[in-house]
Structures are given as structure tokens and as C-alpha cells.
């Protein structure tokens, strides 16, 4: 009899579920809470799930509710969740590529030609080294800045730098300040450092490794790297301009800042919108137009095999090429003189539509379980949870426990669902030796 655990796609969801359960138990320890007594079950569950799924959503004030021990637990859970998710996503991509070849790869967890030939031990070492180096650089810059500009004692400066470095690279977004990064909105050393850390974690290891080898020769990039880099630049420009245009005169966000401050705040929030989870402006005071665009950016997310969530950049970009080819009447979808396999196109459509269905279902559930929560705010929280971004308009702490559990489920599915579902689709792909007669139903 074949073991039900034969495929990693079946093991990954249970592994992360086990980690969430363990984390919940640890967060319920009295030592994890600043005040006497232990945290309620739903509060501990939500916090542990948010950390393991590298989301950053919170139902309590992180710096005051949790003790130093609780903050250490958050750091450890975030690091394990981020490292495990990125590593497993990459390894599963390699597993699929070896068994099925290029045509069986799911673009949402796409390959890199250089990684395909790497042994797993070497791959794990490279992933760990990149993470360690990136977090060390972020920690060094933040430590010096906290110590020199804000007069933090060196011990406090180092600890807070480590905490936020782990949160940034793993795209989690927990902060040791009740207003997240709002107090640092005009500080480029902190905002740009954390922003670059978020970008490094969100672009994905396959792309990082390929760019390290081929950064001088873009013509040699794989299709996946091209789509990821192009998508990152495109959406970064869109988000930056949207924040500047719609929030420029908003007295609750960019309005009171100087012109350089507005540019820095728009850049910071743009970087954090698709995966980072930090916020340097009050999101609850954003204009409705900005919230709508932010929902779209969060839903798309970051690169494959990264800590970012969403449907992934490669999925979004591929769908764009599919639509363009259909509009032009082209028989094939071609990207840089490479024809994209039809099964990859179907997989991209499947991932995107499943994401839409989950967000729609979650929004309806949240709306049914709450009172007096505006629809756009409910949609924002649901999208943030599904895409494991962690941004909030401020309504999450006031939601009833049942609604908070809905967000926990969305965080879990949003983090491991794309890995499990995408790999399962690829592993279950089989080739028939016959084809049925063709039929053309009316479309549109």
C-alpha cells in the first residue's frame, strides 16, 4: 500500500499546522504575557499563526501585551516559519521539476535553472547563509541608528534591531512599537533599510541566486526571473505613484509631511504593501482609492519560493501575457521567444481563481460575523490575511473571536495553500494517449 505521506505536498500543511499548535501552547504560557495570567486561547492561536505564517497581523498590542519572552517566541516562530516555508517551497519546486520536466512546473513556485541542479544539502546551506547575511546587515544598520540617533542603550538597540530584521526579511511585520513604523516615517535609515530587507525576502531565492550569477546579462535570465523582476518593478512603480497621487494632500497620511518625507513614506508603504506588513502611515485614514489599489497589490504578493504571500508575481504576470495573446489572436503565449506550456497557463488560472474564491468567501464570512464593519475594511483585512501581508486598518483587535478564527484560517491557507495545491496539481499531472473530440462553448 502506498503511504499517504509519499508526496511532500501532503506533509507540508500538517508540518506547519503542528508548528502553529506548538506555538499556541507556548504563547499561552504565563511567562509570555507582560501582565499576570496567560493569554486567551484565540489570542495565542492568532498570534502564533500570524508568526508561523509570517503575516504580522495582531489582535493585541504587541509591545505591551507580550513580555520579552513572548517577543523572543515571536522572533523564533517567525524565523522558523520563514526559513521552513522558503526552503520547502524551493525544494518542492525542484522535486516537481525533476519528475515532470519544465512542462510540469507550476509557475507560482517556478524554477531557476541554476537551482535545478543543486543538491539539497547545498541548497539549504545557501538559503541559510543568505538569510543570515541579510538579517545581519539589517541588524547592524538598525543597531547603529537606534543607538546613535535615538539614544537607546546598546543592549536595547541590538535586541530591537534583531527583532525587526527577522520580521523584515521574513516579511512578517510584527513591530515593537504600537504605531509600527509611523514614528520613523521620515527616517530614511530605518525605513529604507527595512524596506530593502522586505524586498530581499519577497523576491524569492531562485531569483536571488540567478541574479547573483547573471546580473550583468539580463538576456540570459530564465523566464521566471524575468517575470519576477519585471513584475516587481511594474507594481512598485504603480504602488508608489498611487500613494503619492491619492494621499498627497490627505491630512491623515502624507499631508503633514514635507515633500522629501512624502516621497520616503510613499516608497516605504509601497514596499510594505505587497508583503512587508509594516506601516509608516495610518492605514485606517487612507482614502478609499488607495485602499482599493492596496487590496490588489496585496493579492498579487511577491515572488515564488519566498516569504511573500498572495497568488505570486509570476502567476499575475503570466496571466497578463495570456490575456494579451488572446486579445491579439495568437495561438501561443510567448515570453521572450519562449512558448509557455498550456498546463502552466491552466495552473496560473487555477491559482488566481482559487485566491479570488478564498478572499470572496472570507469577506462574506467576516461580514456575517461582525457588525458595523464597513465592507471595504473587511475586504482589506481578509486580503491582508490571505496574502499574509499583515497590514490592518485597525479593526482586527475589535473583531469577535469567531471572525478572528476566520482570519487564522485564511493566513494558514494563504501561506501553505499555494505550496500544497500548486505542487499537488503538478504531481498529479498525467499525460493521456488519447484526446476527445473538440467542442467550443460560447464564451463571453
Residue positions counted in the chain: 444
Banded model confidence at residue 26, pLDDT cuts 50, 70, 90: very high
**Beta strand 334-335 pairing with 338-339:** antiparallel
Mean pLDDT of 392-402: 91
Q: Which residues fall within 8 angstroms of residue 387, CB to CB, at 6 or more apart?
A: 274, 275, 298, 299, 301, 309, 310, 414
Tell how many helices (H) and how many strands (E) occur in the chain.
16, 2
Q: How many domains does the chain have?
A: 1
At residue 111, the pLDDT reads 29
**Residue 62 domain boundaries:** 8-427
Q: Answer whether 292's CB lies under 8 Å from 313's CB.
A: no
Q: pLDDT for 272-308, tens place per residue?
A: 888 888 999 998 899 999 999 999 999 998 887 777 8
Q: Which residues fall within 8 angstroms of residue 311, CB to CB, at 6 or more apart?
A: 108, 299, 300, 301, 351, 352, 355, 418
At residue 384, the pLDDT reads 94
- Decide if 444 is inside a domain: no
- Decide if 3 is inside a domain: no
Q: Across the chain, what does the average pLDDT equal?
A: 84
Q: pLDDT for 221-250, tens place per residue?
A: 888 889 999 999 999 999 999 999 999 999
- Judged on CB neighbours under 10 Å (0-12, 13-18, 19+), 273 is buried
Q: Supply the DSSP string of 231-286, one letter for each residue.
A: HHHHHHHHHHHHHHHHHTT-TTTTTTS-HHHHHHHHHHHHHIIIII---SS-GGGS
Closest CA to 43 of 30, 56, 57, 59: 59
- Decide if 292 is inside a domain: yes
Closest CA to 418 of 110, 21, 45, 100: 110
Helix 188-203 to helix 205-214 angle, to the nearest 10 degrees? Answer: 100
Q: Answer whether 83's CB lies under 8 Å from 91's CB.
A: no
* Cα angle 342-303-382, degrees, rounded to a multiple of 5: 95
Does residue 64 surpass a pLDDT of 70?
yes
- Decide if 437 is inside a domain: no
At residue 332, the pLDDT reads 86
- Decide if 440 is inside a domain: no
Three-class SS state of 79: helix
Q: For residue 442, give the C-alpha cell.
A: 460560447
Residue 121 or residue 81, greater confidence: 81
The CA distance from 90 to 331, in Å, is: 32
Return the residue matching grid coordinates 509557455: 340
The CA distance from 77 to 7, in Å, is: 25
Q: Answer whether 108's CB lies under 8 Å from 417's CB.
A: no
At residue 428, the pLDDT reads 58
Does residue 85 surpass a pLDDT of 60?
no
Distances in Å between the Cα of 64 and the Cα atoms of 21, 67, 68, 317 are 23, 7, 10, 41
Q: pLDDT for 137-160, tens place per residue?
A: 999 999 999 999 999 999 999 999
The CA distance from 375 to 317, in Å, is: 28
- Judged on CB neighbours under 10 Å (0-12, 13-18, 19+), 432 is exposed
Q: CA gyration radius for the chain?
A: 22
- Decide if 238 is inside a domain: yes
Share of the chain above pLDDT 90, in %: 52
Does residue 4 surpass a pLDDT of 90?
no
Does residue 187 surpass a pLDDT of 70?
yes
Q: Which residues fall within 8 angstroms of residue 429, CB to CB, at 6 or more apart?
A: 100, 104, 343
Output DSSP code: residue 33: B
Return the residue matching grid coordinates 493521456: 432
- Decide if 443 is inside a domain: no
At residue 103, the pLDDT reads 33
Q: Which of 167-176, 320-329, 422-431 has the lowest mean pLDDT?
A: 422-431
Banded model confidence at residue 113, pLDDT cuts 50, 70, 90: very low
Return the residue matching grid coordinates 501552547: 25
At residue 421, the pLDDT reads 59
The CA distance from 271 to 276, in Å, is: 7
Output DSSP code: residue 54: T
Mean pLDDT of 172-192: 93
At residue 109, the pLDDT reads 36
Dihedrals phi, psi of 292, to nearest 5 degrees: -65, -45
* Cα angle 271-277-281, degrees, rounded to a multiple of 5: 75
The CA distance from 150 to 414, in Å, is: 37
Mean pLDDT of 362-370: 92
Query: b or e along 401-422 (b: 16 or more beta carbons within 10 Å of the residue's beta carbon)?
Result: eebbbbbbebbbbbbbbbbbbb
Banded model confidence at residue 100, pLDDT cuts 50, 70, 90: very low
Q: Answer whether 275's CB lies under 8 Å from 294's CB.
A: no
Does residue 115 surpass a pLDDT of 50?
no
- Decide if 97 is inside a domain: yes
Share of the chain above pLDDT 70, in %: 84
At residue 137, the pLDDT reads 96
At residue 96, the pLDDT reads 52
Amino acid at each position: 500500500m502506498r503511504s499517504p505521506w509519499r508526496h511532500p505536498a501532503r506533509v507540508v500543511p500538517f508540518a506547519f499546522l503542528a508548528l502553529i499548535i506548538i506555538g499556541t501552547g507556548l504563547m499561552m504560557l504565563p511567562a509570555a504575557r507582560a501582565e499576570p495570567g496567560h493569554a486567551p486561547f484565540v489570542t495565542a492561536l492568532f498570534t502564533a499563526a500570524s508568526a508561523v505564517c509570517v503575516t504580522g497581523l495582531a489582535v493585541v498590542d504587541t509591545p505591551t501585551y507580550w513580555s520579552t519572552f513572548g517577543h523572543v517566541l515571536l522572533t523564533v516562530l517567525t524565523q522558523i516559519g520563514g526559513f521552513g516555508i522558503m526552503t520547502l517551497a524551493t525544494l518542492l519546486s525542484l522535486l516537481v521539476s525533476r519528475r515532470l520536466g519544465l512542462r510540469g512546473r507550476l509557475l507560482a513556485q517556478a524554477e531557476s535553472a541554476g537551482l535545478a541542479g543543486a543538491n539539497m544539502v547545498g541548497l539549504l546551506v545557501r538559503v541559510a547563509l543568505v538569510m543570515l547575511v541579510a538579517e545581519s546587515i539589517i541588524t547592524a544598520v538598525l543597531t547603529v541608528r537606534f543607538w546613535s540617533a535615538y539614544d537607546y542603550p546598546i543592549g536595547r538597540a541590538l535586541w530591537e534591531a534583531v527583532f525587526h530584521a527577522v520580521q523584515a526579511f521574513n516579511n512578517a511585520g510584527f513591530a515593537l512599537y504600537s504605531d509600527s513604523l509611523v514614528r520613523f516615517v521620515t527616517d530614511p535609515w530605518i525605513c529604507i533599510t527595512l524596506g530593502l530587507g522586505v524586498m530581499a525576502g519577497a523576491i524569492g531565492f531562485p531569483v536571488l541566486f540567478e541574479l547573483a550569477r547573471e546580473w550583468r546579462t539580463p538576456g540570459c535570465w530564465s523566464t521566471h526571473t524575468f517575470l519576477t523582476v519585471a513584475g516587481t518593478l511594474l507594481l512598485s512603480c504603480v504602488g508608489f505613484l498611487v500613494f503619492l497621487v491619492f494621499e498627497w494632500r490627505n491630512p491623515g497620511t502624507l499631508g503633514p509631511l514635507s515633500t522629501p518625507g512624502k516621497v520616503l513614506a510613499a516608497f516605504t508603504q509601497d514596499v510594505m504593501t505587497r508583503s512587508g506588513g509594516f506601516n509608516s502611515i495610518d492605514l485606517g485614514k487612507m482614502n478609499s482609492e488607495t485602499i482599493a489599489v492596496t487590496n490588489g497589490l496585496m493579492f498579487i504578493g511577491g515572488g515564488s519560493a519566498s516569504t511573500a504571500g498572495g497568488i505570486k508575481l509570476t502567476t499575475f504576470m503570466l496571466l497578463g501575457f495570456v490575456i494579451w495573446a488572446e486579445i491579439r489572436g495568437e495561438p501561443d503565449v510567448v515570453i521572450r521567444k519562449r512558448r509557455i506550456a498550456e498546463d502552466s497557463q491552466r495552473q496560473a488560472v487555477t491559482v488566481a481563481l482559487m485566491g479570488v474564491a478564498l478572499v470572496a468567501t472570507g469577506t462574506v464570512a467576516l461580514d456575517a460575523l461582525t457588525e458595523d464593519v464597513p465592507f471595504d475594511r473587511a475586504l482589506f483585512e481578509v486580503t491582508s490575511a490571505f496574502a499574509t501581508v499583515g497590514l490592518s486598518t485597525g479593526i482586527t483587535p475589535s473583531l469577535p473571536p469567531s471572525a478572528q478564527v476566520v482570519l487564522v484560517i485564511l493566513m494558514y491557507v494563504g501561506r501553505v495553500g499555494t505550496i500544497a495545491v500548486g505542487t499537488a496539481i503538478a504531481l498529479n499531472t498525467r499525460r493521456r494517449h488519447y484526446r476527445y473530440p473538440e467542442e467550443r462553448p460560447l464564451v463571453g
